Structure 1
């Protein structure tokens, strides 16, 4: 069997997946790629043949097999069934999906996906779990150093995929405290911000979600050290994720987590109530 070289670019299907930056090329992608290639060869399929059946080009299949691109979940499901992989490829789907995230966020993403409780304090922008596609794209477009167009689209898709947590059963308990200044900063333009405010109202009316706004005129404020996220896992483990410029940390030490829990409790007491907060969002929408 004559196997095309990894640099081959023979047209086989309509879909081209965006190239990942080196940051996304983690070990799990290389492992998945090797397994994908082994199953494809075992099935007696060359890349053009396989690509035609799953709807991807030869160059994209090559990139998947080399661990240079993050394969989407639907491709993994297709490949597992078509190549009779017995669920081995599907078993890696969750780990592969996390490779879409920046390296510093992957551990937190894993905990977030299975959390029973999430409590988030935001100071500069709307949290990724609440972002619209347009708002998320604006955020990544403004990132410096500049991200490539392909990486921006990959990050947007990964951010939207995180929002599956809202549809999970049983429903997790999720709360947000957001600085009022975040809602008056029209990232991406007025129309993008209007859509984002509308989305806040949609999520804010969910039974398992509470959104509270911290007014600009508060004279007391417990969160001046910056944003953070509190996470409780299914095993009753409590963690805190703190992200800053070029640095992030996941805390599991009970003392450190307790300090942030105390801050969050005070923040919720100092902020507007959920009902008052949604009223403020509606007011902002009226002026948008």
Structure 2
């Protein structure tokens, strides 16, 4: 299969707010065209700083950044016309309706008026277009902010924590919206987040940043190969409290939906645990080895 070109490339990107105190160190970001790229990291890792540099919100013209194959600072206006973004909280006029908010930004973008109805339909706000933005739920505000970012039909969408603070239904709405934008319109999406299980559901590629360093970049299967996470043994027993007390000194255990989830290092430890329980009259109903998810892998990498 022919390799896709990268929409975003940075080369050995460094950044400091204060001399001698680096925030980013040697960042080589590669965001493939047509991808949903999850940019992951704990708070303070450098995610938002990186995104702000990519958008020129932090001025550092020596930053080695290429977007759409162009030097960002040399062709900044041309590049920005092809990018939509939402960084931190959406900037909306609460006293205006959703449609009126879009009209304000449509005039600044110079888009056709028909584009307003198009983006309202894309984000699922057609029926709420006449409602004042201050009356919108947080999820609706996020979708309206994304609609504004889509007005000029960008090829690249950059979103910083777009599901932050949303309830589960709002998170699902944003997730479905981003997947549709990517699949139906071919929009490349760079999304930063700390909600790892949600990111796992939609990303095609991801990068993990910690303490200003990009410590992994690739696809989810490549991440599985990059770092073999500790195995998790899911156990159903008749006496979870007693079963836990028998092995808690040697294993990390948590209860999940009526099961004991036990972190183990190898399959031999399954036999060890089963033997301890059987010797102490614990009835074992089921033992299952679970596949490591993105959160397991993420925590192992950043704590390495």
Q: Which of structures 1 and 2 has the larger relative contact order (alpha carbons within 8 angstroms, sep 6+)? A: 2
Return the structure number with greater helix share. Answer: 1
Same fold (TM > 0.5): no
TM-score range, shorter chain: under 0.3
Give the alignment's TM-score, normalised by structure 2: 0.25
Bigger strand fraction: 2
- Normalised to the residue count of structure 1, the TM-score between the two structures is 0.26
**Larger Cα Rg: Structure 1 or Structure 2?**
2
